[in-house]
Structure 1
Amino acid sequence: MGADPGPGTLEKARLLPLLAAQVARGVIVRRPGWEALAAAAGADRRLGALLRELRERHGDRPLPLTVAGRPLALVLAPGDVRHLLEGTPDPFSPGGREKRGALEHFQPHGVLVSDADERGPRREANEEALATGRPHPDTGALDFQADEEARVLRHALGRAGALDWPRFSASFDALARRLVFGEHAAGDHLTTVLLRHLRSRADWAYALPVDRRTRREFLDRVRAGISGAAPGSLAARLPRDPRVRPEDQVAHWLFAFDATAIASFRALALLGARGTDPDAAAGRPDRWAATLQESVRLWPTTLVILREAVRETALRGRVFARGTAFVVVSSYFHRDPRLPYANAFAPRIWLDGTARAEPGLVPFSHGPAGCPGRDVVLTAASRFLGALTGGAPPARTDAGVPLSAADLPVSLDHTALRFSLGGAP
């Protein structure tokens, strides 16, 4: 089998603008204007269609591509997604140049960008605090915070109030602070403002210098939050071992809750889609969790997953040099037309094992670097949404095209959504 030189000139001319559009939307913090533009232009649909063309033309092997001197490999086969993620951190590092450049802005010692000898203890500390893979021992306290923040938001909205993205996002930020530090942190808006400033710079990775003064102020506030963490909060379970760098781990948690907010707001739209069972999530935490996972499958919050080869390595008979970044475009795999439920709202796949058996479906990543907070995030967000909606599907009040549960768009601009809430207060 001859070596494939990668995409040709015309293929690159079509591919690179679509990949650039993914970056322009915001890797670390979403840019509303670009998000709206990507949805209007059908960027996700067009990129997925082009990647399928490339797979038909070039085969299943990762496709080599060089951009500005950077060696990349486009992952085209679902099985390779599972292989890459299970092969983390060696030979496929979750760190890599781009990710290190981005996370340096607000969590320079986060577990994803830690060196090999530091990653183990930091990952273990995250899993212990977040109770990865098991019910959280402080579920009662976390449920209380979710219920309380939902009550606060409903009170602010009033019976006829409209729920838009800025209002929902602000409430979810408060929920994140409640869960991480305790109820007293609900009003600590400054910590979130500082983080958002740093994340906006992180979108430029190494192209922008680190704002060290703001980073120091932010991490000092996080340290203070950890020191004063209430019993039953997530931060209270972190070891105070300085080698773990607990402030950097918590910085990542606060960052990751933003993606959960986006998925949760889109989940409200799913519940109001035509053809959706009105009881799809009512009163059932497992169904709410399935709905949230469907939201992330249908509209991934991590647009691109990267893994970087830490040494020369072979995949599907092709040798890739050390430093090659393997690029997994989430929506390409999540909306694979060979999946019978590709464009439909199908929460059942998360309840009956269907999704688990499909290697390309990775809403919370997978393997040793998979999201350690997956379980606690799904539980807390499910509780919050259940309390917020009162068991009744929300009604869309924006001017967007109504959604059909059987045929959902490949892109959905969450910033344009608007709802009215019914149900019991």
Structure 2
Amino acid sequence: MTQPQRDCVIAGGGPAGMMLGYLLARAGLAVTVVEKHADFFRDFRGDTVHPSTITLLAELGLREKFLALPVTQLCTLDAVVEGERMTLVDFGVLRAPDNFLVLAPQWDFLDFLAQEARTLPGFDLQMDTEAIGLLRAPLDQDAGREDAQGTDSAGDVLGLRVRSAGGDQQIHARLTVAADGRTSALREAAGLRAVESGVPIDVLWFSLPKPSEPPPATLAYVSSAGMVLTIDRGDTYQSGLIIKKGAFPAMQQTGITEFRTRLVAAAPVLAGVADTLTEWEQIKLLTVQINRLLRWHRPGFIAIGDAAHAMSPMFGVGVNYAIQDAVALANAITPQLRQGVVPERTLAGVQARRERPVKVMQAIQGRGHRVIARATVGQRVLSLGAVRLLRLGSPVLRRILARVVGVGLLPEHVRTPPGGSR
């Protein structure tokens, strides 16, 4: 079954896909987003909505609606490093009014974007619908060769093949976007190759009730006993234990009691609530990856967000970098889509623009991993002298991290006006 041609079809209803779908529909284009799950409720997705994203929501007239949801606003991020509490990030130094971080379950954020997008006539969201392949143009006699980057250059992409309860369908579109995450099947189908960066850590994610007398909001506890994340979700913590890459099976062999002992040793504040973890089914492994496509695009196709560059959970920037990709793509491609064309040079320009901040942040994350990996093998993360220096320099560090983490290295802004003639 073939649907009428769309201006754009997007695989993946995550932050990149939903934001791009909203922006293009807001600009008066016909866009379809397909999401393979029946809802957005996925545990252990990124919960941080950074100041840069709040600014984008303000530019779209959605800021106050979003902040009216049951979200948590934080002006600072604290960590306990080798037993000493310190404020590492102070978003209050950023330009008002978007000088704070928001913690919101990602499913609430995606539901919010979907609800707003559904008010736009050109927007179509198909849940419980999986992208199973690309529609390709017939190959000519010169097709099948590889370009200089080793990427199959044959067969322009013309849309998606999708599968739902109603059967298989074809969605033809002028532009097809892979926003289907770090395990993207579409980037594979397009012949795009990712370069992996070695990562020495993984994360075990779990939910814990808050202690009866919780401390101030604390992002992490870091010491030679380990590193534990405690992300505030109202009455609970979304928690994570940093472990050596590949160590989870061995930990399971030692038993859940030993896991709780290790958790409390690293974060003593959790002593009264750790016993709520009684079985391994409550604990999920997040395999930490950092990778980046050599090339994000081919004729009629581009990958964005985690499909183009998987980010580490460090600093919680993945969601916001994915949204920045969506804004950059919408800014660049909307004028051409209104004319019914998709020049590949425009897609190449989006990659060139977004690749720069991604490379820098991934390099920062890689260096950070090497430091915190010491905690997974019983070593001090920082020497006593380094802790003192960190404390003395924290006012400067807070300002730097507020800018790098909260705003980003090349923040995007909405350049596409609503509506517009075709």
The TM-score range, normalised by the shorter chain, is under 0.3
Q: Which structure's residues are more often strand, by fraction?
A: 2
Query: Structure 1 or 2: larger helix share?
Result: 1
For the pair shown, the structure with the greater C-alpha radius of gyration is 2
TM-score by length of 1: 0.24
Q: Compare relative contact order (CA 8 Å, sep 6+) and give the higher one, 1 or 2.
A: 1
